[in-house]
Structure 1
């Protein structure tokens, strides 16, 4: 596991894809997948949309990931 993932697990992150982003708690890294909990879908021009359950993202689709400061919201 890369160092940023070790330090980011259980912290609030924004995972940026080419066309959208997800804000949530980085819960786990499972092989080629990242698992977010308490997630919201972020799309340009739209209000954040709450996601039920876990959001699973394939790592190869991720452009970049932001680790939010303590107390940072999505």
Structure 2
């Protein structure tokens, strides 16, 4: 999964997990962790929830990452 370092780092992404997704700016990769800033929690059937601070996600939990176009 090295392609995202060039393609997605510091860009707006949607990180999809099995039960939820986070939209935000992929700020950094720290070992097995991804760091999102300006993030929003997206859950099926619920309103989007803005997140305070940084969101840290274990890469092993990520199903796929979508890079916003534009």
TM-score, normalising length: structure 2: 0.95
- The root-mean-square deviation of aligned C-alpha atoms, in Å, is 1.1
Runs of at least 4 residues off by over 6 Å? none
Alignment size in residue pairs: 70
Structure 1, gaps ≥5 residues long:
none
Distance 1:49 1:10 in 2: 21
TM-score, normalising length: structure 1: 0.90
Q: 1:4 matched to which residue of 2?
A: 4
CA deviation vs aligned residue, 1:5-60 (integer Å, no higher than 9, x gap): 22201100000000000000000000000000000000000111000000000000
Distance 1:14 1:30 in 2: 18
